[in-house]
Amino acid sequence: MPRDRKYDVLFEPVKIGPKTSRNRFWQTSHCAGPGAERPGAQAHLRGMKAEGGWGVVFTEYCSIHPEADEYPYTSARIWDQGDVQNLGYMCEVAHRHGSLAGIQLWYSGGNAPSLESREFGRSPSQWLSPLFATRSVYGYAMDEFDIRTVINMYVEAGRRAEQAGFDILEVSAGDDTVPIQFLEPRFNRRTDGYGGSFANRSRFFIELLGALKRALGDRCAITTRFEMDTLHGPEGVEAHEDGVRLLERFRTEGVVDLVALKIGDYAEWGEDAGVSRYRKAGWMTPFIRQGRSLLGPGIPVVGNGRLTSPDDMVGLIGAGVLDLIGAARPSIADPFLPVKIMEGRNEDIRECIGCNICVSKFQQGGQIMCTQNATIGEEYRRGWHPEKFARTTKPCSVLVVGAGAAGMECARVLGARGYTVHLRDAERELGGHWRLVTQLPRLGEWSRVIGYRQIQLAKLKKNVEVHLGVARMSADDVLEYGADQVVLATGAPWQADGRSANAGPIPGADASLAHVLTPFQVITGKPVPGKRVLILDGDGHFMGIALAELMADQGRQVTYVCDAADVAEYGVFTMESFNNKRMLFEKGIKTLCSHWAVGIEPGRVRLAYLYRFGPDLLGPTTGAVPRRDNGGEFDLEADAVILVTSRSSDTALWRELQARRPEWPMHGVGAVFRTGDCKAPAQLNQAIWDAHRLAREFDSPHPAYPLPWIRERQLWGSPTVPQLGDPRINVEGE
Ligand code: SF4
């Protein structure tokens, strides 16, 4: 279907200094894991977005010098010619698809832990880093010579970036970098010409941009991504004070070709990449609108806000709020978002759900993953394309039992590959347990996981049938069904006896009793007795805290207890920890961390502090006699207990079929596979990935096990790896 002409504006070219973007789609710099060390992954991840229509594709934040080393977090690096060569391949692939390649130049000064380089960063003044406080990270205060040196570092890094083929040099101006640190009074306590007044505090930033412009501005676009409000009031950058004044300076000084605007900071990172639980699409628009009005028409503005709706995008451009659609997460969930709009296929857009699983994996030092897009990060090492599927070499019929997210994904990919698929579930609706999850407070946007797959399955109706509300399948039913192959995606219910990572079943925990409930029992309507509810969270992600909010919203007195040291501790990685705590406080939910239940009775729960005993075998830790009495244990009155403790795969059908393996040939069943939570309970992204992989490799020799994938690493003995005695390394005595 041709696209509606109202979307044409999205495909207009935009001039950015000496460069021109072919359209208004700007893939904002975002972390992904490859850095400069895995050039194949880097190039093909960004290249896939270029192929998918993003007019501009960026690296992640890119360190300009070993003084700014965030190892083990993977930034890109443009430190030397090796990095030029590796990142050059990304530029080559981006250009092949007609996109501009951008690099975000980043120097974090006194925030750099430098766990690899061991070098010290330089900062406007000396302070204990708010980013790495537990690691005791300080930088050293710059004198004027250091200021010239750091500006020169940026320029030299810019030269290397140009050599690599980058078209856009973006100065990172988040508060973890020196340009903003100079601007913010809380970091800049200088008394010389770079501190004090706004003019002095903004001087470094303007001089830096000016130096880049003079050295490279006729060949590369010079831009910045700027936090116009760090949400720290007068001690930070405020949209109504310094942020505004700096934007006015950008306009009058002529030092930038484009400004990407955002808000928030990095000590409490999460307001610029807000989760959908707390920030709906476009939440930064009021700030961006103000910034746009200050910059005037000559400087294009990029704005983000988890924008996935083409109508929202057109509306923001039409209203003059922004010129280019900035996107990190929407481009991760769907690298082909622009192409789908261009081709009039809006219904095929795989919308980001705002879960921040992608960020959480980077925050753990890992590679990018996505709940919606199983192929992200797999473009090079597994050769997966998000929109293309190899036709099967062994066509056959496949029965998929279980129409949760994993079952749907498996059926979708098998169907796209040309298999004849029957997807069956006893429930009357698609989505399995995820459908229940999306009924919890703040989680409605997560239903996009089901909605996208539902639409795609409907498009495959020639060879994919969906049977809902059927009788729960027994082993006899499966064997007699007539399918050549079987995939079980039967999920993983919550444990009904309270067993968790730290402890076995809890005495008295039995979800067949009226006062003890599992999460799914609560969502599906089992009555929660009484007013006082205790949530026992051994899971640590969203379920415990969402149920706590649900109960509080019903007017109950809620106590949230977890065995971790922090509430919903995975929120540290998804950047929702601070807002989780605010929500608990605002809703009057009491919290107890590092505690667990040792007994449940009607009307009360016996709780224990987890560290009340010293280690049994090693003796007391403090010299005191370990407490073997009831110290650290106490009773809490509770009318109902909800067990968010752990899950267990539903393997009943799997085990029954395995036991009857000799009967498979006589029924024409070649193989039975299990996937998703049925194999092992996991975060949804992993369940979907597992189902996707199985379907991609369904005609491989052993589909139950992943095919080998490309590992990018240095090989000892390769001419690119210096050996002892090589003049490139300096070893004492050599
Ligand atoms: Fe969006 Fe979640 Fe995918 Fe990140 S992981 S891009 S937040 S759907």
| Higher pLDDT pick, 726 / 295 | 295
Q: Which amino acid is at 389?
A: F
Residue ranges of the alpha helices (H) in 615-683? 652-659
Q: Which amino acid is at 347?
A: E
Two structure tokens written together for 47: 């290249």
User: Residue 622 burial (CB < 10 Å; 0-12/13-18/19+)?
Assistant: exposed
Q: Is 591 helix (H, G, I), strand (E, B) or coil?
A: strand
pLDDT tens-digit profile of 499-529? 998 888 999 999 999 999 999 999 999 999 9
pLDDT tens-digit profile of 691-724? 999 999 999 999 999 999 999 998 998 887 887 7
> Are 102 and 56 in contact, with CB atoms under 8 Å apart?
yes
Q: What are the φ and ψ backbone dihedral angles of 533, each rounded to 5 degrees?
A: -120, 135
pLDDT on residue 730: 55
pLDDT on residue 726: 73
Beta bridge partners of 61: 104
**DSSP characters over 35-88:** TTT-HHHHHHHHHHHHHTT-SEEEEEEEESSTTS--TTS--EE-SSHHHHHHHH
Q: What domains appear along the chain, each with residue ranges and CATH number?
A: 5-108+150-363 (3.20.20.70), 397-492+649-696 (3.40.50.720), 516-644 (3.50.50.60)
pLDDT on residue 729: 60
pLDDT on residue 239: 62
> Are 490 and 473 in contact, with CB atoms under 8 Å apart?
no
> Are 231 and 265 in contact, with CB atoms under 8 Å apart?
yes
**Nearest-angstrom CA–CA distance, 112 and 229:** 22
On the question of pLDDT at 616 being above 60, the answer is no
pLDDT tens-digit profile of 186-206? 899 999 999 999 999 999 999
**CA nearest to 180, candidates 262, 103, 117:** 262
Which residues approach ligand 1 with their CB closer than 6 A? Answer: 329, 332-333, 352-358, 370-372
**CA nearest to 269, candidates 465, 617, 31, 17:** 31
**CA nearest to 655, candidates 683, 631, 678:** 678
Other beta carbons within 10 angstroms of residue 459's beta carbon come to: 13
pLDDT on residue 733: 41
**Nearest-angstrom CA–CA distance, 30 and 331:** 10
Take atom 2 of ligand 1 and give the residue whose Cα is closest.
Answer: 355
Beta bridge partners of 533: 558, 640
Cα(360) to centroid(ligand 1), Å: 10
Cα(438) to centroid(ligand 1), Å: 15
Two structure tokens written together for 698: 């369904």
**Nearest-angstrom CA–CA distance, 652 and 546:** 29
Q: Which residues of 174-210 are buried (b: 16+ CB within 10 A; e: fewer)?
A: bbbbbbbbbbbbbbbebeeebbeeeebbbbbbbbbbb
On the question of pLDDT at 383 being above 70, the answer is yes
Take atom 1 of ligand 1 and give the residue whose Cα is closest.
Answer: 352
Q: What are the φ and ψ backbone dihedral angles of 140, each rounded to 5 degrees?
A: -120, 145
Cα(456) to centroid(ligand 1), Å: 19
> Are 495 and 452 in contact, with CB atoms under 8 Å apart?
no
CA atoms within 13 A on the CB side of 33: 22
pLDDT on residue 525: 97
**Nearest-angstrom CA–CA distance, 88 and 105:** 15
Atom of ligand 1 nearest to the CA of 275: 7
Residues making up the chain, counted from first to last: 734
Atom of ligand 1 nearest to the CA of 685: 5
On the question of pLDDT at 626 being above 70, the answer is no
Question: Residue 174: pLDDT band by 50, 70, 90 thresholds?
Answer: confident
Cα(144) to centroid(ligand 1), Å: 43
pLDDT tens-digit profile of 83-117? 999 999 999 999 999 999 999 999 998 899 999 99
Q: Is 151 helix (H, G, I), strand (E, B) or coil?
A: helix
Residue-averaged pLDDT of the chain: 94
Q: Tokens 């379907």 identify what position?
A: 695
On the question of pLDDT at 67 being above 90, the answer is yes
On the question of pLDDT at 620 being above 80, the answer is no
**Nearest-angstrom CA–CA distance, 344 and 394:** 33
Q: What are the φ and ψ backbone dihedral angles of 547, each rounded to 5 degrees?
A: -70, -35
**Nearest-angstrom CA–CA distance, 560 and 536:** 6
**Nearest-angstrom CA–CA distance, 115 and 561:** 35
Cα(589) to centroid(ligand 1), Å: 28
Cα(556) to centroid(ligand 1), Å: 32
Question: Residue 614: pLDDT band by 50, 70, 90 thresholds?
Answer: low
Residues 6+ apart with CB under 8 A from 38: 712
Q: What percent of the chain has pLDDT above 90?
A: 83
pLDDT on residue 621: 53
> Are 42 and 90 in contact, with CB atoms under 8 Å apart?
yes
**CA nearest to 522, candidates 381, 660, 641:** 641
| Higher pLDDT pick, 109 / 65 | 65
CA atoms within 13 A on the CB side of 651: 12
Beta bridge partners of 599: 606
Residues 6+ apart with CB under 8 A from 28: 58, 225, 260, 302, 304, 326, 327, 328, 331
Atom of ligand 1 nearest to the CA of 369: 5
**Nearest-angstrom CA–CA distance, 167 and 103:** 8
pLDDT tens-digit profile of 430-461? 999 999 999 999 999 999 999 999 999 999 99
Q: Is 709 helix (H, G, I), strand (E, B) or coil?
A: coil
Cα(177) to centroid(ligand 1), Å: 25
Residues 6+ apart with CB under 8 A from 446: 276, 353, 355, 434, 437, 438
Q: What are the φ and ψ backbone dihedral angles of 635, each rounded to 5 degrees?
A: -100, 145
CA atoms within 13 A on the CB side of 590: 11
**Nearest-angstrom CA–CA distance, 601 and 638:** 9
pLDDT tens-digit profile of 142-151? 999 999 999 9
Question: Residue 725: pLDDT band by 50, 70, 90 thresholds?
Answer: confident
> In testing the pocket of ligand 1, which one of 372, 445, 448, 686 has its CB within 8 Å of the most ligand atoms?
372
**Nearest-angstrom CA–CA distance, 390 and 392:** 6
Two structure tokens written together for 552: 């509080």
Q: Tokens 């309270």 identify what position?
A: 498
**Nearest-angstrom CA–CA distance, 517 and 535:** 10
pLDDT tens-digit profile of 347-369? 999 999 999 999 999 988 889 99
CA distances from 305 to 88, 214, 226, 227, 635 (A): 30, 32, 15, 14, 46
Beta bridge partners of 534: 559, 641
Tally: H helices and E strands in the chain = 22, 26
Two structure tokens written together for 124: 């406007």
Two structure tokens written together for 395: 């066509």
Atom of ligand 1 nearest to the CA of 356: 7
**Nearest-angstrom CA–CA distance, 389 and 381:** 16
On the question of pLDDT at 624 being above 80, the answer is no
DSSP H or E stretch at residue 91: helix 81-96
Cα(81) to centroid(ligand 1), Å: 34
Specify which of 108-122, 170-184, 686-700 reaches the highest per-range mean pLDDT.
686-700
**Nearest-angstrom CA–CA distance, 515 and 679:** 30
pLDDT tens-digit profile of 242-256? 888 999 999 999 999
> In testing the pocket of ligand 1, which one of 337, 357, 449 has its CB within 8 Å of the most ligand atoms?
357
CA distances from 2 to 36, 340, 347 (A): 40, 11, 13
Two structure tokens written together for 210: 């000016």
**CA nearest to 103, candidates 156, 152, 172:** 172
Cα(352) to centroid(ligand 1), Å: 5
For range 543-555, the mean pLDDT: 98
Take atom 6 of ligand 1 and give the residue whose Cα is closest.
Answer: 329
The pairs formed by 144-152 with CB atoms below 8 angstroms and a separation of 24 or more are 144/192, 144/194, 146/122, 147/194, 147/204, 149/122, 150/107, 150/109, 150/122, 150/178, 151/204, 151/207, 151/208, 151/211, 152/211
